Structure 1
């Protein structure tokens, strides 16, 4: 089965053969900065896609990439996604992302993380970080010792804690919107859902689905998570190799990126797709069109999984309120349904339609700022 080992190492074949400046030009990135520290082994890359709406915000992930080029491609695509995620959610922040290249089990230490914090501080607030893959709230505490430009901190330090709960609720709203578009009702009772990935977001999403009496199938690379999902929620366990052989109403990718590709799409046996993973389409244009040709409803990933950025942005701005955040994340339902309906009327790839909506807001606000 063709899947990538990093959540968002997607990208067209063309992109994988392009140099960094060509990709930056293609997607309109403002800046990419790198830091190397021999003493700690730190190899950090920060991608700043846009600061038109505000400081570039996005989490830091640490991964043992096969090459530095993979890390650069990842940070470029992820930072772009953060711009659109924030813009379409009505947030006054831009898009950025950071990757740390290396084995977290071998390299992570207080000194390593504080050195990274000093790197962030050197950007003078242009980039604000948060947690992501292999970066915990404890890691953020170390980073916070060297910079104030960090969010997603533990509640004990005045932060909002893990944003996964808000993210999961937003994904749940996105799934209901996709169901409404596909089936004429947003009820998920009796719907067969193939949930890929039961980490922090996926497990909470599983709870929502079970509470609504969905028939849920789960897959994950971690056996203990699968056993817990089966034992506690009665989910049916499916091996990663069987995911695309399962007939379902809804496929919910919440782990790996680029799972919608040349291999998987011809095999898909679902009516709608909505999930929490980033960059689900390996190639936005090609694979978005392939889904349309199969008549599959696709809810844009950066719209569906925007709950997390809503939470960390509110914390950073000093406006964190859980009740309000759940209300804001509930709005993902209406926005998603609006984009899906518009895409259907215009016979447009829903992902590209969502990008148009996000870019329209960025352009309008940017023009407003220039006129002041």
Structure 2
């Protein structure tokens, strides 16, 4: 049974810090009044190793929304590490607030102390709203941080590695879906032009693919247009006439309602928790659309920051990230042989590794 731990918790977490959450090993709440830091660290499973996952800095509407997000994300990290063959557990953290107004050195250092208080059970990295430079500051207070800048001894931003992993996964999925791994013959709708989506667009266009982008933020649209001249911009790609839908923003875009509008034959992107509920994959199958499990496709960033722990070189990391193409190919082969979905095949792969591992002390 899992209990929760708390330090000084502000009103946004009232009623949450005493919950029992059987799906997770430990959930930690923390508030630092001096800096305004309100954060949650969720450790889902450490059977394969210490929990490693990014910190999301986001203006959640409520503590309940933040908790729901961190629980889903941390569980996804367990399956991501297991399916990628990494000796890491699953964890995630959220900082509640708008990074544009709340971010400060003092807050980041306070967050570093919070991470450090777990004694290495959780290792943090970057996610939405957190940069490599932010992690440098977090690292002033704890050694349990990866993804810092190269100047600070880290491997730098993991956006390219994540994008390369999605690109590699997309090649394998395209071969399964369309009969060829050549992405240059396809039209890909990318949703989100953040640090991953922007790099994925570059990889796809370098291969000759036609790319259309949906990005609500005016600044991000402008940067994308300046980086990739002639890029086509549209209001939505989830329902666009494209071969591949690549969700690369926040998750939950594939819902029972939105699935009815999907025209792509393949869904493969970097966003976490793309399915609003697990049964959405079956709905996609019924429409003839193939989905690459998000935690498999977007594992490149985890491979990169995980490589910091064993001293891997950038070339070694790149080879491992590109090998996600083989992992996705194997998952589809298993799914076909067992007459199941790619999601079910990926979950079975991850669970086999988890079930074979020894339970951590105290679980």
**What is the TM-score normalised by the length of structure 1?**
0.88
Count of aligned pairs between the two proteins: 345
How far has the Cα of 1:82 moved from its partner?
Answer: 0.7
Map of 1:227-306 to 2, 5 A cutoff?
227-231=222-226, 232-239=228-235, 242-284=236-278, 286-306=279-299
User: Partner residue of 1:365?
Assistant: 357
CA distance in 2, matches of 1:97, 1:70: 14
CA distance in 2, matches of 1:22, 1:293: 38
How far has the Cα of 1:23 moved from its partner?
Answer: 8.6
Q: Which structure is higher in helix share?
A: 1
Corresponding residue SS for 2:320: helix
User: Partner residue of 1:32?
Assistant: 27
CA distance in 1, matches of 2:154, 2:76: 24
CA contact (8 A) 1:44 1:98 kept: yes
Deviates more, 1:175-184 or 1:221-230: 221-230
Pick 1 or 2: higher relative contact order, CA cutoff 8 A, min separation 6.
1
How far has the Cα of 1:311 moved from its partner?
Answer: 0.7
CA distance in 2, matches of 1:89, 1:20: 32
Corresponding residue SS for 2:184: coil
- Pick closer, same or farther for the CA change 1:24–1:294 going to 2, 3 Å: farther
- Pick closer, same or farther for the CA change 1:22–1:182 going to 2, 3 Å: farther
Corresponding residue SS for 1:355: helix
How far has the Cα of 1:111 moved from its partner?
Answer: 1.4
CA distance in 2, matches of 1:287, 1:226: 29
CA contact (8 A) 2:17 2:29 kept: no
User: Partner residue of 1:87?
Assistant: 82
* CA-to-aligned-CA distance 1:333-359 (integer Å, 9 cap, x gap): 111111122223333232232111111
Q: Which runs of 5+ in 2 are unaligned?
A: 1-15
User: Partner residue of 1:4?
Assistant: none
Q: Is residue 43 of structure 1 aligned with residue 38 of structure 2?
A: yes
User: Partner residue of 1:334?
Assistant: 326
Runs of at least 4 residues off by over 3 Å? 19-24, 227-231
Corresponding residue SS for 1:218: strand
Q: Which among 113, 127, 137 is matched to residue 118 of structure 1? A: 113
User: Partner residue of 2:340?
Assistant: 348
CA contact (8 A) 1:210 1:233 kept: no
Q: Which runs of 5+ in 1 are unaligned?
A: 1-18
CA contact (8 A) 1:207 1:233 kept: no
CA distance in 2, matches of 1:89, 1:319: 18
Q: Which among 66, 72, 88 is matched to residue 77 of structure 1? A: 72
* CA-to-aligned-CA distance 1:146-178 (integer Å, 9 cap, x gap): 111111011011111111111111100011111
How far has the Cα of 1:325 moved from its partner?
Answer: 0.8
CA distance in 2, matches of 1:138, 1:338: 37
User: Partner residue of 2:306?
Assistant: 313
Corresponding residue SS for 2:126: coil
Corresponding residue SS for 2:256: coil
CA contact (8 A) 2:158 2:304 kept: yes
CA contact (8 A) 2:238 2:245 kept: no
CA distance in 1, matches of 2:90, 2:296: 14
How far has the Cα of 1:225 moved from its partner?
Answer: 3.1
* CA-to-aligned-CA distance 1:32-72 (integer Å, 9 cap, x gap): 01111222211110000011111111011111111100000
Q: Which among 60, 76, 79 is matched to residue 55 of structure 2? A: 60
Corresponding residue SS for 2:257: coil
Corresponding residue SS for 2:238: helix
CA distance in 2, matches of 1:23, 1:211: 49
Corresponding residue SS for 1:267: coil
Q: Is residue 135 of structure 1 aligned with residue 130 of structure 2?
A: yes
User: Partner residue of 1:109?
Assistant: 104
CA distance in 1, matches of 2:107, 2:239: 43
- Pick closer, same or farther for the CA change 1:263–1:343 going to 2, 3 Å: same
- Pick closer, same or farther for the CA change 1:67–1:86 going to 2, 3 Å: same
CA contact (8 A) 1:24 1:76 kept: no
